[in-house]
Amino acid sequence: MKIAIPVANTEGLNASLADSFGRADYFAIVELDDTSIEFIANPARQEGSGAGIKAVQTVANAKVKSVVVPRLGMKAIQALKDANISSLEFTGTTLQSAIDAFRAGQLKDFPPEGCGNKH
Amino acid sequence: MKIAILSGKGGAGKTTVATNLALSLPGVQLLDADVEEPNAHLFLNPHFGNYLEPVTRNVPQIDPKKCILCGRCVEFCEFNALALLGNRVIVYPEACHSCGGCKEVCNVNAISGVERQVGVLRRDQDISGIEFWQGELSVGEESSIPVIRALLKKINRRKIAIIDAPPGTACSAVEVASDSDFCLLVAEPTPFGLHDLQMTVDVIEQLEKPWGIVINRSDSKGDQALEDYAKNKRIPIFLKIPFERSIAEFYAQGIPFVEKDPSWKHRFQKMIKQILAYCGET
């Protein structure tokens, strides 16, 4: 099973987590079976509008089942739902910490109304 | 005669100029085109009654029976309003700019259009002689242009129309300016005010319209930089509204200052005469 985690650089498990989803620099596509990681550049990063939707398209094409993110906009939430990808809320520092938290099963689903005033 | 009231930033005094000018002239139209946050109503207290005109625009609708999931429409959409997720193309209408390009690139005619409401127009036919119109964009919509276009269609060419534009120099302000016959730029005499005036001038210049400046919160020392710039650019300064506590107090109470000091009505009337003469109209 694969999950996507937005990151700010591509330094393996030490990669820093991005502080948003649609405008993150990269996505770490993590295969949980063997912890192999593929970094893909986020084509939506500099979009004028609809970055969240394009970012969802990108991770959907990578066939992930979940995203682990600190923040999500309304359109990204809707598109993730449409793509049948679960979204889990996590704020941390490194890619390793996000994977560990996901494996520990301690993450909660994003509320359907988004992150409110944090976004 | 369509007069667009513009400024490079919010808070320069567009609404102050637009409402006081409208109240000084007989039988004019006033259109609040700042559709993301219309506020002229705060100073005019309109009675809109039941008049509510929906504004719609065309967004794509996908026929899943015809769609072959090729993704050409998704690829084409500059605004990412379409996504190919699972086994269907999904439309995110609030991101759509109604360009119709997706329909053009679809090889199997799977895309048709459907009308979506994006805002409303309200009207009060007579506020002390002013025919007042207000556009309102629905919350969450990205493009204000369809609402502004619908609003500008309400202009009666036999009247003077004063259009309170959205702030800044983005497409919404350009939409109002490019439709107008005269652009009145409101600026304040501060370094920020000068900078924002320059931004507006850089954009409006391209439209080659007759134009002029109103200095709001004018004071003798601060005005110099604006005056030098205007002189250099050969843009006439038509009016100065002084930086006075009484004007600010009336503003804070939602009272247009021409109502408290009718001598100002004469000054606005004089300004309009000068503008009409400048534009070659009488």
How many Å lie between the alpha carbon of B140 and the closest alpha carbon of chain A? Answer: 10
pLDDT band at residue A115 under the 50/70/90 scheme:
low
- Tell me which chain B residues have a C-beta less than 8 angstroms from the C-beta of A83: 83, 85-86
Q: Is the pLDDT of residue B58 over 80?
A: yes
State the best of B62, B85, B94 to mutate against chain A, taking most chain A CBs within 10 Å. Answer: B85
- Non-local (6+) Cβ contacts of B33 within 8 A are B135, B148, B151, B152, B163, B164, B165, B166, B172, B176
Q: Is the pLDDT of residue B197 over 50?
A: yes
- For residue B239, give the nearest of B43, B20, B2 by alpha carbon: B20
| Contact state of B83 with A84 under an 8 Å Cβ cutoff | no
- For residue B134, give the nearest of B150, B145, B118 by alpha carbon: B150
How many Å lie between the alpha carbon of B63 and the closest alpha carbon of chain A? Answer: 17
Please give the residue range of the domain that contains residue A75: 2-118
- For residue B63, give the nearest of B55, B54, B73 by alpha carbon: B73
Residue whose pair of structure tokens reads 């690139």 in the numeric block: B105
All domains of chain B in start order, with CATH:
2-54+120-278 (3.40.50.300), 64-109 (3.30.70.20)
Q: Is the pLDDT of residue B46 over 90?
A: yes
Quote the pLDDT of residue A114: 62
- The CATH code of the domain that includes A81 is 3.30.420.130
Q: Is the pLDDT of residue B85 over 90?
A: yes
Looking at residue A114, the DSSP 8-state letter turns out to be: T
Q: Is the ipTM of this complex over 0.90?
A: no
CA-CA distances (angstroms) from residue B111 to A108, B64, B88, B104?
Answer: 38, 9, 13, 9
Number of domain units in chain A: 1
Looking at residue A66, the DSSP 8-state letter turns out to be: E
| Contact state of A50 with B79 under an 8 Å Cβ cutoff | yes
pLDDT band at residue A117 under the 50/70/90 scheme:
very low
Is residue B84 within 8 angstroms of chain A, CB to CB?
yes
Looking at residue B201, the DSSP 8-state letter turns out to be: H
What percentage of chain A reaches a pLDDT higher than 90? 83
State the best of A46, A47, A49 to mutate against chain B, taking most chain B CBs within 10 Å. Answer: A49
